[in-house]
């Protein structure tokens, strides 16, 4: 059985590529030759012209949040707007939690 494919993202080009996962191999964007970011197998790319979605995605990926499948299906909650991401980043700064943990909270306490 072939290996499952996972998503790699180029944020400057706003492009997503599905490729087999290989931990030892660094992926390069075919458009700009920059290093691709591993996003996970449950990732669905936004439309290229959706500026807000790509900004939110860059916040998530730069904080270390990925889109891997869990035992129950999808990757769990991820903020879909910059407002939701900002709320969680503010909460993380106030409480001292890591950004990656705060960004995946469904509801803030």
Q: What is the pLDDT of residue 73?
A: 61
Q: What is the pLDDT of residue 91?
A: 95
Q: What is the pLDDT of residue 3?
A: 67
Examine residue 86 and state whether it is found in any structural domain, yes or no.
yes
Examine residue 108 and state whether it is found in any structural domain, yes or no.
no
Examine residue 47 and state whether it is found in any structural domain, yes or no.
yes
Following DSSP, what letter does each residue of the chain receive, concatenated?
-PPPEEEEEETTTTEEEEEE--TTPPPB-TTT-PBPEEEETT--PPPTT-HHHHHHHHHHHHHT-----BTTBS------SHHHHHHHHHHHHHHT--HHHHHT-SS--
Examine residue 96 and state whether it is found in any structural domain, yes or no.
yes
Q: Is 69 left (phi over 0), alpha (psi -120 to 50) or beta?
A: beta
- Per-residue pLDDT tens digits for 17-60: 999 988 889 999 999 999 999 999 889 999 999 999 999 999 99
Examine residue 64 and state whether it is found in any structural domain, yes or no.
yes
Q: What is the pLDDT of residue 1?
A: 44
Examine residue 77 and state whether it is found in any structural domain, yes or no.
yes
Q: What is the pLDDT of residue 21?
A: 87
Examine residue 81 and state whether it is found in any structural domain, yes or no.
yes
Q: What is the pLDDT of residue 52?
A: 93
Examine residue 109 and state whether it is found in any structural domain, yes or no.
no
Question: In the chain, how many domains are there?
Answer: 1
- Average pLDDT (93-102) is 93
Domain extent for 87: 5-103
- Per-residue pLDDT tens digits for 68-85: 886 666 677 888 899 999
């Amino acid at each position: 059985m072939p290996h499952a494919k996972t998503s790699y993202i180029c944020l400057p080009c706003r492009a997503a590529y599905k490729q087999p996962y290989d931990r030892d191999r660094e992926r390069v964007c075919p458009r700009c030759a920059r290093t691709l970011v591993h996003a996970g197998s449950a990732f669905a790319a936004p439309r290229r012209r959706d500026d807000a979605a790509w900004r939110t995605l860059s916040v998530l990926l730069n904080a270390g949040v990925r889109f891997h499948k869990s035992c129950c299906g999808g990757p769990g909650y991820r903020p879909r707007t910059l407002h939701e991401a900002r709320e969680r980043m503010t909460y993380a700064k106030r409480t001292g939690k890591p950004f990656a943990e705060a960004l995946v909270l469904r509801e803030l306490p």
